[in-house]
Chains A and B, each alone.
Chain A
């Protein structure tokens, strides 16, 4: 299956650590990439590969993978991290499904 499953919503207290997960069979062969999207804006790549951050992404964002689950961790969440987060991967047929997205609330 090429589906990727995310929890619809997660909350975190300001300054605490939060993990957002993504599950799917394709993640056993492909690392997920993670995208942050704020209202009215285009998505922004925050993590790709094993644990790579594009230039300009704070080091409080990190990624990991185990079996069929990929995780995005924000260590010391900030108010500006409140956003929707999407995982994406590739499957053996060349499809690139997105997860359904996780709405992160910073309390």
Chain B
């Protein structure tokens, strides 16, 4: 069964770059899944950051796109998040997740879901 584990510094200075890695175990990052990052500021809701496919294709939240880079390392079976020019507003619990997608031909609907999540890692932006 696939498990995900986030890792990275818990404290980042303002204007610096936040860097996190998500290690995938129990399965291959080259499977037919996308791999996502989601964050949650203290006391607030979930915010989707972006996703990557093992080919390197990415999609990003438009509100964060100018500061976000998600990359994949197939040799290490992991993917990473970099968020530049951070401020206190980027303080949050950061989660990585495995994403799936499919199509319902009967009703002409697409669907998308995040079925495996890491436990999350807290990142604080402070000097």
Residues of A within 8 A of B (CB): 29-31, 33, 35, 37, 42-45, 48-50, 54, 65, 84, 86, 88-90, 93-101
Contact = CB atoms under 8 A, between A and B. Distances in A.
Contacts of B119: 42
B59 A94 contact: yes
A97 B45 CA distance: 11
Given A29-B109, A31-B109, A48-B113, 16 more contacts: A29-B110, A31-B111, A33-B111, A42-B117, A42-B118, A42-B120, A44-B117, A45-B113, A48-B111, A50-B107, A84-B45, A88-B48, A88-B112, A95-B59, A96-B59, A100-B45
B46 A101 contact: yes
B36 interface: yes
Given A48-B113, A89-B112, A96-B112, A43 B102 contact: no
A50 to B, nearest CB: 6
B112 A35 contact: no
B73 interface: no
A43 B95 contact: yes
B36 A31 contact: no
B117 A43 contact: yes
Contacts of B111: 30-31, 33, 48-50
A33 B38 CA distance: 15
B117 A49 contact: no
Contacts of A84: 45
Interface string B98-119: 0011101001011111110111
18 contacts: A30-B112, A31-B104, A42-B117, A43-B114, A48-B111, A48-B115, A49-B102, A49-B104, A50-B109, A50-B111, A86-B46, A88-B46, A88-B112, A90-B101, A96-B112, A98-B45, A98-B46, A101-B45
